[in-house]
Amino acid sequence: MGFCFDYKCSNPACGYEATVSGGKDHGFCGEVQTMVCLDCKDLLDVLTAEPSANAPSGLAPVERKCGECGGKNLKLFHSGKTRCPKCGARLKKSDNFDLWD
Ligand SMILES: [Zn+2]
Ligand SMILES: [Zn+2]
Protein backbone atom coordinates (compact mmCIF):
# COMPACT_ATOMS: atom_id res chain seq x y z
CA MET A 1 0.00 0.00 0.00
CA GLY A 2 2.57 2.55 1.00
CA PHE A 3 5.39 3.37 3.28
CA CYS A 4 5.45 4.77 6.74
CA PHE A 5 8.30 6.72 8.19
CA ASP A 6 9.15 7.51 11.76
CA TYR A 7 9.90 11.12 12.47
CA LYS A 8 11.57 11.88 15.76
CA CYS A 9 12.16 15.22 17.42
CA SER A 10 15.88 16.00 17.76
CA ASN A 11 15.27 17.63 21.12
CA PRO A 12 15.75 14.89 23.76
CA ALA A 13 13.73 16.89 26.28
CA CYS A 14 10.74 16.75 23.96
CA GLY A 15 10.91 13.26 22.50
CA TYR A 16 8.01 13.76 20.11
CA GLU A 17 7.60 10.93 17.64
CA ALA A 18 5.18 10.33 14.78
CA THR A 19 4.75 7.57 12.24
CA VAL A 20 3.38 8.98 9.01
CA SER A 21 3.68 8.46 5.29
CA GLY A 22 5.73 11.67 4.99
CA GLY A 23 3.89 12.95 1.94
CA LYS A 24 1.10 11.98 -0.36
CA ASP A 25 0.08 8.37 -0.28
CA HIS A 26 -2.69 6.08 -1.33
CA GLY A 27 -4.34 3.70 1.05
CA PHE A 28 -7.35 1.48 0.70
CA CYS A 29 -9.60 4.25 1.99
CA GLY A 30 -8.37 6.90 -0.42
CA GLU A 31 -5.59 9.43 -0.63
CA VAL A 32 -3.83 10.73 2.41
CA GLN A 33 -1.33 13.50 2.90
CA THR A 34 0.89 14.14 5.87
CA MET A 35 0.00 17.38 7.64
CA VAL A 36 0.56 19.18 10.90
CA CYS A 37 -2.52 19.98 12.94
CA LEU A 38 -2.05 23.42 14.50
CA ASP A 39 -4.81 22.78 17.01
CA CYS A 40 -3.52 19.64 18.70
CA LYS A 41 0.08 20.13 17.52
CA ASP A 42 0.41 16.73 16.01
CA LEU A 43 1.80 15.26 12.84
CA LEU A 44 -0.62 12.92 11.10
CA ASP A 45 -1.87 11.55 7.82
CA VAL A 46 -5.05 13.34 6.79
CA LEU A 47 -7.53 11.88 4.33
CA THR A 48 -7.71 14.22 1.32
CA ALA A 49 -9.71 12.17 -1.18
CA GLU A 50 -11.84 9.08 -1.15
CA PRO A 51 -12.80 6.63 -3.86
CA SER A 52 -15.74 7.79 -5.95
CA ALA A 53 -17.25 6.18 -9.02
CA ASN A 54 -18.32 9.60 -10.30
CA ALA A 55 -14.93 11.29 -10.19
CA PRO A 56 -12.83 11.15 -13.37
CA SER A 57 -9.72 10.19 -11.43
CA GLY A 58 -11.67 7.72 -9.30
CA LEU A 59 -11.05 9.89 -6.26
CA ALA A 60 -13.16 12.73 -4.98
CA PRO A 61 -11.68 15.37 -2.67
CA VAL A 62 -12.98 15.42 0.87
CA GLU A 63 -12.89 18.15 3.46
CA ARG A 64 -9.56 17.91 5.24
CA LYS A 65 -9.70 17.66 8.95
CA CYS A 66 -7.58 16.37 11.74
CA GLY A 67 -8.38 12.79 12.68
CA GLU A 68 -7.51 13.51 16.29
CA CYS A 69 -9.39 16.69 17.13
CA GLY A 70 -11.45 17.40 14.01
CA GLY A 71 -9.68 20.76 13.60
CA LYS A 72 -9.13 22.28 10.19
CA ASN A 73 -6.00 24.28 10.93
CA LEU A 74 -3.79 21.96 8.92
CA LYS A 75 -0.43 22.73 7.39
CA LEU A 76 1.21 20.61 4.71
CA PHE A 77 4.17 18.66 5.98
CA HIS A 78 7.47 18.99 4.14
CA SER A 79 10.03 16.37 5.02
CA GLY A 80 13.24 18.09 6.13
CA LYS A 81 11.54 21.48 6.49
CA THR A 82 8.66 21.03 8.89
CA ARG A 83 9.73 21.23 12.49
CA CYS A 84 8.49 19.47 15.59
CA PRO A 85 4.89 20.59 16.18
CA LYS A 86 5.45 20.48 19.93
CA CYS A 87 8.71 22.35 20.45
CA GLY A 88 9.90 23.63 17.06
CA ALA A 89 13.14 21.63 16.98
CA ARG A 90 14.25 19.74 13.89
CA LEU A 91 12.59 16.44 13.10
CA LYS A 92 14.77 13.52 12.17
CA LYS A 93 13.53 10.90 9.79
CA SER A 94 14.27 7.38 10.84
CA ASP A 95 15.72 5.04 8.25
CA ASN A 96 13.46 2.24 9.31
CA PHE A 97 10.19 1.89 7.58
CA ASP A 98 7.37 -0.57 7.67
CA LEU A 99 5.06 -1.65 4.95
CA TRP A 100 1.46 -0.98 5.75
CA ASP A 101 -0.58 -4.08 6.39
ZN1 LIG B 1 -5.84 18.10 15.64
ZN1 LIG C 1 9.95 18.44 19.84
Q: Measured in angstroms, how far is the CA atom of residue 84 from the centroid of ligand 2?
A: 5
The predicted-structure confidence for 21-49, as pLDDT tens digits, reads as follows: 999 988 778 999 999 999 999 999 999 99
Q: Which ligand has an atom closest to residue 85 CA?
A: 2
The predicted-structure confidence for 44-74, as pLDDT tens digits, reads as follows: 999 999 999 999 989 999 999 999 999 999 9
Distance, in Å, from the CA atom of 65 to the CA atom of 48, rounded to the nearest integer, reads: 9
Q: Measured in angstroms, how far is the CA atom of residue 22 from the centroid of ligand 2?
A: 17
User: Which of 58, 5, 6, 55 has the alpha carbon at shortest distance from 30?
Assistant: 58
Q: Which ligand has an atom closest to residue 46 CA?
A: 1
Global confidence as pTM: 0.85
Q: Measured in angstroms, how far is the CA atom of residue 68 from the centroid of ligand 1?
A: 5
